Amino acid sequence: MDKQTLKRLCGEAIDRNRDAIFALADDIYRHPEMGFHEFRSTEKMKEAFESLGLTVEADIAYTGCSAKAGQEGGPVVAVMGELDSLNCPDHPDCDANGNMHSCGHHAQLAALYGCALGLVQSGVLPSLDGAVKFVAIPAEEYVDTDYRTGLIKEGKLHYYGGKQEYLYQGGMDDVDMVLQAHLINPPKQGAVCCLDTDCDGFIGKSVRFIGRASHAGFAPSEGINALNMAQLALSGIHALRETFRDEDKIRVSTIITRCGEMVNTVPAEADMEIMVRGATIDAMLDASKKVDRALKAGALAIGGKVEIQNRIGYLPLHSSRELTAVYRENVEEYLGCDDSAFITQYVSAGSTDLGDLSHLVPCMHIWTGGISGALHASSFRVVDPEAAYILPAKMLAMTVIDLLFDNASRAKSVMDAFHPVFTKDSYLAFLQEHSKLDFFDSAAL
C-alpha cells in the first residue's frame, strides 16, 4: 500500500474508536495520581494496550508500562504519554487529596492510546520498516521529593524523574527517537500547535541550615538562628539576579519548607527547597555555584552550618527540528492549513525530563491545543476533546508512518542529523558527578 493509504486507514481506525479514547481520557482525568503513585493509571494503560493484542511490560520505571509493535531490524520510534498529575487543591475537579490533571497528562495518555490503536487496528505496521514502542511513563513533574527520596533510600528508585529512571532501567536501550505531544493554551489565537520547543533544565537543592536552639526571650544570645541564616541566604540569592545573563534564562525558585516549632525558641533548623533553572547545562551549573555561595554566606554571617544536597533535576530540552518538520507536514496536509496555524518556536523557562532524553536521541515535543486557562492552575479546562485527544493521536500515528515508510528512510535521516551529547553511561556519570552533598561549617572560619 502507498503511504497515503496507510495514513487514511490509520485515521479511520482512530475515528471508529473515538468513544474509547474519550472514555480513557475521562477515566484517567477522574483518578489523578502523583508521580510514582500511578498504580491505577498504569493498570488502565496496561489494559488499554492489551486490548489491542499487545504484550505489555509493566513497572518499567517503578510505575508505568510499555508495549512494542512492528518489525524488528529497523529504527524504533517511541511514542510517550505521561501518567502523573499535580496537586491543585483549588481546582473544582481535584480529588479528595487535591490531586488534579491540571497539566493535561491524561490527554497525552489518550493520544498515546489513540496512536497505538490507529497503528495496530488499521493493520499498517507490516508495511513499515521498523517498530513503535508505546510508553506510558511516570513522574514527569518534579514534586513530592521527600516521597521519592524515601523510595531511593529503600532501593526501589534511583532517580527523581520517570524518564531518568526509565533510561537507567534500560527502557531506552532500543529506542532511536521519541515523539510526544503536550497540551497548551496557544498564545496566538487560531494556532493549532506550537512546534519546536526549547526549555530550561534545572538543578534541585534540598537545603538545611543548622544552628543552635535557645530561649528566644531570656537567652537569644546563646542561640544560632537558622531562620536568620535562611533569610540572609535569600537576600544573597536576590542580589545575584543581576549577574544572570538574559540569554541563559536563569530562574531561581525558593521555598522554606520547615523552620522552628515554637515562637519562643530560637529555631535550630530551617529547611529549604530550591530549583535553579537555566537554558544550557553550563548556565545551570554556573548559577548553581552562585546560589551555593549565597547559602554558605547566610550560614557564615550567623555562625551556623548548612547542608546543601545538590542533584541534577532535568536537562534543557532542545527538540529535534527534523522530527517537528514531519509532524508539521501531517498537520498541514490533514487540516489544509497554512503558516498561521503554527507557532514555529516555543521557548520556555519551564522544564521537563524529556530534556534528558533529548541529549541522547532525537526528541519531538509538540504543544497542541484544546484547552482554556493555564497549565498547573485552577483555570485549566479541556474545552475541545477533538483537538486535545484525537488530532494529536492521528498526527503522532501519521508521523510514525512517515518515519518508518520506505525502508525507514525518513527516520534514518533524522538519526543521521542528530549529534548526541551523552551516551547512556556518560549521562548517568554526569548525574552522579553533580548530585552530591555539600556541607559547610562556618565555625571552621
Give the residue from 223, 145, 177 showing the smallest Cα distance to 327. Answer: 177
Sign of the alpha-carbon torsion through 91, 95, 97, 100: negative
Integer Cα distance of 386 and 110 in angstroms: 11
Predicted structure pTM score? 0.94
User: In the β-sheet with 305-314, what is the strand arrangement from edge to edge?
Assistant: 251-259, 269-278, 201-210, 305-314, 437-441
HEC readout, the chain: CCHHHHHHHHHHHHHHCHHHHHHHHHHHHHCCCCCCCCHHHHHHHHHHHHCCCCCEEEEEECEEEEEEEECCCCCEEEEEEECCCEECCCCCCCCCCCEECCCCHHHHHHHHHHHHHHHHHCCCHHHCCCEEEEEEECCCCCCCHHHHHHHHHCCCCCCCCHHHHHHHCCCCCCCCEEEEEEECCCCCCCCCEEEEEEECEEEEEEEEEECECCECCCCHHHCECHHHHHHHHHHHHHHHHHHCCHHHCCEEEEEEEEECCCCCECCCEEEEEEEEEECCHHHHHHHHHHHHHHHHHHHHHHCCEEEEEEEEEECCEECCHHHHHHHHHHHHHHHCCCHHHEEEEEEECCCCCHHHHCCCCCEEEEEECCEECCCCCCCCEECCHHHHHHHHHHHHHHHHHHHHHHHHHHHHHHHHHCCCCCCHHHHHHHHHHCCCEEEEEHHHC
Q: What's residue 1's pLDDT?
A: 86
pLDDT at 247: 94
* pLDDT per residue rounded down to tens, the chain (445 residues): 899 999 999 999 999 999 999 999 999 999 999 999 999 999 999 999 999 999 999 999 999 999 999 999 999 999 999 999 999 999 999 999 999 999 999 999 999 999 999 999 999 999 999 999 999 999 999 998 889 999 999 999 999 999 999 999 999 999 999 999 999 998 888 899 999 999 999 999 999 999 999 999 999 999 999 999 999 999 999 999 999 999 999 999 999 999 988 999 999 999 999 999 999 999 999 999 999 999 999 999 999 999 999 999 999 999 999 999 999 999 999 999 999 999 999 998 889 999 999 999 999 999 999 999 999 999 999 999 999 999 999 999 999 999 999 999 999 999 999 999 999 999 999 999 999 999 999 987 8
- Every domain of the chain with CATH number 3.30.70.360 lies at 202-314
Asked whether 58 and 46 are in contact (CB, 8 A), the reply is yes
Residue that the C-alpha cell 480529588 belongs to: 95
Decide the pairing of beta strands 177-183 and 76-82: parallel
Residues in CB range of 85: below 8 A, 6 or more apart: 32, 33, 34, 99, 100, 101, 102, 103, 105, 106, 141
Numbered ranges of CATH 3.40.630.10 in the chain: 3-198+317-428
Cell of residue 327, nine digits? 509532524
pLDDT digits (tens, 9 = 90+) for 185-227: 988 888 999 999 999 999 999 999 999 999 999 999 999 999 9
Task: Measure the CA–CA gap between 194 and 365, rounded to whole angstroms.
Answer: 9
The whole-chain average pLDDT of the chain stands at: 96
> Looking at the domain 202-314, which fold is it?
Alpha-Beta Plaits (3.30.70)
In the prediction, which pLDDT does 187 show? 85
**In CATH, what class is 3-198+317-428?**
alpha beta
